[in-house]
């Protein structure tokens, strides 16, 4: 049993510190736990590593971080040689357990390989790291974060020289290097004082951060807004506290109230447990404060502040949650309306969204003469398009978004940015407040103009080896014996993204999907409603996206419920 051999090595080798031995001794009689920790290496995906913190080859710890960093170092050297080593790597980290330790470990492994490292001296949001790579001209970047995962997790996200997350071409090279390293105990770290003395480790000062804040503020679109807007903000004990508050203050907002219980770093996320702003439960404390302060809008950013969610006060003096599709549509409408006034919408302007993101934003963009391009799920794919447009000049990138509350405006950051999104959404709310409207009023106007769009995301948690196998069986069922209709609504289009084929069931034709292959399916009904299913790339989940459109709100909601009922019944039958 190879996993037992790996366990014994970690337990007995002097390379691993005493805390590792103590942790592993505590599970000595738990064979399933030992197997889960050691039956494989923690998977390096297209964005990097993400997993539970703990000792073992299949866990996030300083040794698996060192392994990934050594593989990254070898990849950087093979791709760019001495030029790449001198351009260096920027590293930032969030508030999670051991984030600072993992960041320092990565830095000293890279330094040992002769690669210059720029390391932040304190927690910073993911978008600041993405910005820094371009600002300093780095060859790569590392963000230590598990984004919105539960407290037991941490992660290691890799960026390349354009300031966006790596794609499969670079990820595959890193994976090859990981597999070539047969003995993790051979990986070395440079002494920190030596790295500093030799100029291989440089601590990033406030200059870069100040430049980022200035550039974000320059993205504001209107000055005539109600700066007395009452804003409730929760950083969910993450990295957004300082940058979001600073940007809102310098933008001129006078009434920004922060949820005290969620203001400062807390790696245990004591008040929320699962710090995902897509989950309405994270707003409990913020809603309480909002009612005390008569808040007009509540915004929440996730722990690494690359995503933003919001709630808006309604006519019942309570709060209504806006999902990612709705926020994206509101931002698109606000941005394009402002730029139309300024006559700054480029003739070849483009919005980029993912294949599982709703269509309302696309309808709005179309009304302003702006094209919408679809890409695979994940901001790495959105920003790949952005990078490509900059090179080929085909389009001018305006805005990118995905339904999972990720957005970015302009090109200063090549990843989703919760700071930019927070500023622009508050600015939009303040602009409409001068007109006596809330964001809910504006959203209703958009529905009346373009149709009622309703959507629902269902996530089924399926952990461990058994969970992965069941996900594979469900996906296999959807691909081989796919649905032809739900109730009286016929399915016209079936897309198998893994196969790269789009089947027109009405015309009995097949065409290629011009996207990289990925494990996912999409079904489009004759009325343009649709649903899609795919495994999560970062969590042990099967994700089901349901989307409907109708002339009335009630009808669109009923369609969504009917689609969900049929899909869930089918999934339950797959053991």
Measured distance CA(186)–CA(63) in Å, rounded: 11
Cα 13 to its chain centre, rounded Å, is: 37
Q: How many CB atoms lie within 10 A of CB 504?
A: 13
- Tally helices (H) and strands (E) across the chain: 18, 23
Instruction: In whole angstroms, give the CA distance from residue 344 to residue 342.
Output: 5
d(CA 444, CA 451): 10
Task: Judge residue 182's burial from the number of C-beta atoms within 10 Å of its C-beta, 0-12 exposed, 13-18 middle, 19 or more buried.
Answer: exposed
Residues 142, 157: contact at Cβ < 8 Å?
yes
Q: Around Cβ 18, how many Cβ atoms within 10 Å? A: 8
Per DSSP, 60 falls in state: B
Identify any residues that bridge with 299 across adjacent strands, giving them in sequence order: 233, 310
C-alpha to C-alpha distance for 392 and 411, rounded to whole angstroms: 15
**How many angstroms separate the Cα of 109 from the Cα of each of 47, 328, 356, 566?**
19, 40, 38, 51
d(CA 123, CA 265) in angstroms, rounded, equals 9
Return the ∠ at Cα 477 (arms to 527 and 32), rounded to 5°: 130
Cα atoms in the 13 Å half-sphere on the side-chain side of 161 = 13
3-state secondary structure of 224: coil
Among the listed residues 69, 99, 140, 147, the single catalytic one is: 147
Edge-first strand order for the sheet with 117-120 is: 48-52, 153-160, 140-144, 89-93, 117-120, 201-204
90/103 Cα distance (integer angstroms): 10
Q: Assess whether 147 carries a catalytic annotation.
A: yes
Total number of residues shown for the chain: 575
Closest CA to 134 of 118, 112, 115: 118
Q: Which residues are catalytic?
A: 147
């Amino acid at each position: 049993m190879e996993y037992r051999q790996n366990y014994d090595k970690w337990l007995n080798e002097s390379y691993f510190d005493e805390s590792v031995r103590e942790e592993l001794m505590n599970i000595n009689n738990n064979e399933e736990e030992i197997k889960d920790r050691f039956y494989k290496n923690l998977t390096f995906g297209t964005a990097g590593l993400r997993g539970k913190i703990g000792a073992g080859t299949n866990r996030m710890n300083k040794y698996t971080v060192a392994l990934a960093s050594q593989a990254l170092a070898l990849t950087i050297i093979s791709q760019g040689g001495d030029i790449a080593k001198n351009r260096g790597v920027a590293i930032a980290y969030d508030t999670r357990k051991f984030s600072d330790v993992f960041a320092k470990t990565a830095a000293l492994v890279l330094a040992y390989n002769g690669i210059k490292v720029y390391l932040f001296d304190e927690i910073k949001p993911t978008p600041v790291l993405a910005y820094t790579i371009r600002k300093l001209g780095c060859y790569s970047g590392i963000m230590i974060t598990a984004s919105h995962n539960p407290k037991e997790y941490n992660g290691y996200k890799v960026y390349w020289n354009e300031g966006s997350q790596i794609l499969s071409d670079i990820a595959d090279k890193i994976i090859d290097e990981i597999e070539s390293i047969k003995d993790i105990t051979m990986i070395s770290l440079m002494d920190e004082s030596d790295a500093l003395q030799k100029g291989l480790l440089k601590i990033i000062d406030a200059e870069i951060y100040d430049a980022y804040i200035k550039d974000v503020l320059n993205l504001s679109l209107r000055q005539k807004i109600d700066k007395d807007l009452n804003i409730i903000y929760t950083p969910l004990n993450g990295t957004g506290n300082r940058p979001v508050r600073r940007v809102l203050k310098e933008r001129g907002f006078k009434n920004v109230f922060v949820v005290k219980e969620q203001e400062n770093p807390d790696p245990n996320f004591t008040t929320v447990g699962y710090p995902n702003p897509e989950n309405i439960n994270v707003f409990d404390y913020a809603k309480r404060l909002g009612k005390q302060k008569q808040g007009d809008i509540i915004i929440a950013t996730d722990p690494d502040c690359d995503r933003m969610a919001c709630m808006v006060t309604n006519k019942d003096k309570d709060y209504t949650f806006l999902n990612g599709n709705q926020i994206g549509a509101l931002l698109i409408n606000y941005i394009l309306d402002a730029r139309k006034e300024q006559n700054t919408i480029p003739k070849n302007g483009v919005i980029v969204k993912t294949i599982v993101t709703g269509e309302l934003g696309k309808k709005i963009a179309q009304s302003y003469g702006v094209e919408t391009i679809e890409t695979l799920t994940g901001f790495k794919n959105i920003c790949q398009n952005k990078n490509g447009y900059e090179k080929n000049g085909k389009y001018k990138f305006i805005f990118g978004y995905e339904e999972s509350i990720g957005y970015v405006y302009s090109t200063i950051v090549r990843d989703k940015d919760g700071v930019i999104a927070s500023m622009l959404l508050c600015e939009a709310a303040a602009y409409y407040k001068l007109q006596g409207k809330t964001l809910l009023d504006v959203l209703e106007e958009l529905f009346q103009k373009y149709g009622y769009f309703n959507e629902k995301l269902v996530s089924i948690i399926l952990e461990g080896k058994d969970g992965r196998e069941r996900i594979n069986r469900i996906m296999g069922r959807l691909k081989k014996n796919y649905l032809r209709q739900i109730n009286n609504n016929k399915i016209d289009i079936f897309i198998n993204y893994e196969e790269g084929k789009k089947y027109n069931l009405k015309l009995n034709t097949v065409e290629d999907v011009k996207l990289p292959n990925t494990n996912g399916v999409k079904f489009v009904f004759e009325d343009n409603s649709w649903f899609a299913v795919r495994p999560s790339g970062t969590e042990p989940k099967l994700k089901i996206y349901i989307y409907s459109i109708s002339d009335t709100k009630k009808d669109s909601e009923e369609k969504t419920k009917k689609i969900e009922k049929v899909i869930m019944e089918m999934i339950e039958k797959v053991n």
